[in-house]
Amino acid sequence: MSKPPLFSFLPFERFRNPPPLVSVVRLNGLIGGMGAFRQGLSLSSLAGTLNRAFQMRGVTAVALVINSPGGSPVQSALIAKRIRALAEEEGVPVVAFAEDVAASGGYWLATAADEIYADVNSVIGSIGVIAGSFGFPELLKRIGVERRVRTAGEFKAALDPFREEKPAEVAHLEAFLEDVHESFRDQVRKRRGGKLSGDEETLFSGRWWSGRKALELGLIDGLGDLRSVMRDRYGKEVRLRVVGGQGLWWRRWFGRTRRFSGEPAAALMTTQALAAIEERLTWARFGL
């Protein structure tokens, strides 16, 4: 009777033919913004993570897990462009998964994927541009303070919150917002193409929808979560490997403190408090 080969009990077949590997990149939080204990998403903070995700040995696909209410249109565009560039250079498909919200700049990021999935209750859309501020034209008079501003350039002090709005300045801002909005519309048209089923007046109005309605409008390709969709597509043995991460909160906090080391402590705390309020209000727009 012949003896079995030495080490025949080892799963050599798994080493010869490993299960499909999907690298997972989490895109969480404001884009370009800065909250009290975390820095917003930006190309500079994500470049290394994206490179590792697409260049991982044996990678089958890259999954973007998005939970973002938006933010900077510049950083949204830069991140999306880098994702597309890496996908084409490495020949790796990209699938996006919206969690609670992929709205405004968050949806811009999702359009960098070849396919977009969401939960039935995810917030999707908000394809528009916003600029918000407050006006205090009477405040200084009431407290007896005179504001003195000198500029070189007609619009250098445009939309100063401590003086009345001027029609020419408002018109200039609105033209700027429309220009950025057109860039957003171009991105959606380019990436979603013939998949869109709603009319542009509705789709690009700044409205947002549930995942179920977004599917009807062609803003996403299906309903599902990362694990379920990837297992259906690549089998139950598929490996999901998270790449990168935002690190420990205390490292981000002290790193930010060093950047503001020239500010007085009170000013630093005020900056952080205002950033936290802004972040909270941005999420609150979508009921989150």
Catalytic residue numbers?
A: 104, 156
Q: Are 275 and 33 in contact (CB under 8 A)?
A: yes
CB-based contact 36:254 (threshold 8 Å): no
- How many Cβ atoms from other residues are within 10 Å of residue 173's Cβ? 15
Question: Which residues, 6 or more positions from 39, have their beta carbon under 8 angstroms from its beta carbon?
Answer: 45, 246, 252, 256
Q: What is the 8-class DSSP label of residue 152?
A: S
Q: What is the DSSP letter of 71?
A: B
Burial 69-93, CB ≥16 within 10 A → b, else e? bbbbbebbbbbbebbbebbeeeebe
The torsion angle over the Cα atoms of residues 104, 110, 115 and 120, rounded to 10 degrees, is -60
